[in-house]
Amino acid sequence: MLLREDDRGVLAIGQPSHAWLSGQLARAWGNATFGRVEPLEEVWLAAAEHDAGWRNLDLEPTFNPETGLPCSFLEMPLDVHLELWRQGPTSLISQSRYVALLVSLHGWRLYERRDLNKLSPADAAAVKEFLSWQVGFQDRIRSTLRPDPVSLERNSLLIWTWDYLSLALCLGWSPAAARGAPTASDSLDIDVEPAGEGRAHLDPWPFGVPALTVRAEGRRLTGRFENEEQMRQAFAAAPWETLELRLEPRP
């Protein structure tokens, strides 16, 4: 769950909707500087489905008693988060092995960056076991697909970039920068800057269209809640709202 706070309360955006926005970025991605996305259908689908493990959880979100709101993705217990990242790629393998592989790589990449020295011994052991599980899952898929490793790494980094850009847009992180976005021949940082209500500038411009409108959906929550039951009742009854953002090159 992503929680976008504004002067009207909180817009609770499900992880799959944030991933859908990532997929919208993927569909439009590519130009002379940033190159093409190949294979487009598989990579686009992996971007749009990279949070598949959250589908059921975000229908009945867990409660954070410290905030009186649903738990955001940054507040989830480690064991729950790790399990969701096992369920996601596993649920996709019957749809597309390449998509499942990319989603598994994304989950692996999230935890491979963690400093295990800052975790408790039990949590560090859980992360190590998770990383080992993901590598085994990936190896089994690679043995049947034999994907080009250079192309696979580039596509994994593209999904990493789209994930970050989608988070920045959904949560209003601005200014922000997606570091090391793959280009046709190297990598570049992409700056995201506010450009007025419902608009943002990206520089350099990574898309093949002059401007791009993207959207995600969430539920509008007002106030804080006393317990999980109260929060879930309010969440189920909360009005839907579409977050729509127009992306443009920096003038």
Tokens of 218: 């969430």
37 and 206 Cβ atoms separated by less than 8 Å: no
Of residues 70, 50, 6, 33, the one with CA closest to residue 165: 50
Q: Sign of the CA dihedral 115, 160, 170, 184?
A: positive
Question: Could you report how far apart the first and last alpha carbons of the chain are, in Å?
Answer: 33
Per-domain boundaries in the chain: 2-249
The alpha helices in the chain, defined as continuous H runs, are 15-28, 40-48, 78-92, 97-112, 121-145, 149-171, 228-237
Q: What is the 3-state secondary structure (H, E, C) of 45-62?
A: HHHHCCCHHHCCHHHCCC
From first to last of its 251 residues, the chain has per-residue pLDDT tens of: 999 999 999 999 999 999 999 999 999 999 999 999 999 999 999 999 999 999 999 999 999 999 999 999 999 999 999 999 999 999 999 999 999 999 999 999 999 999 999 999 999 999 999 999 999 999 999 999 999 999 999 999 999 999 999 999 999 998 999 999 999 999 999 999 999 999 999 999 999 999 999 999 999 999 999 999 999 999 999 999 999 999 999 99
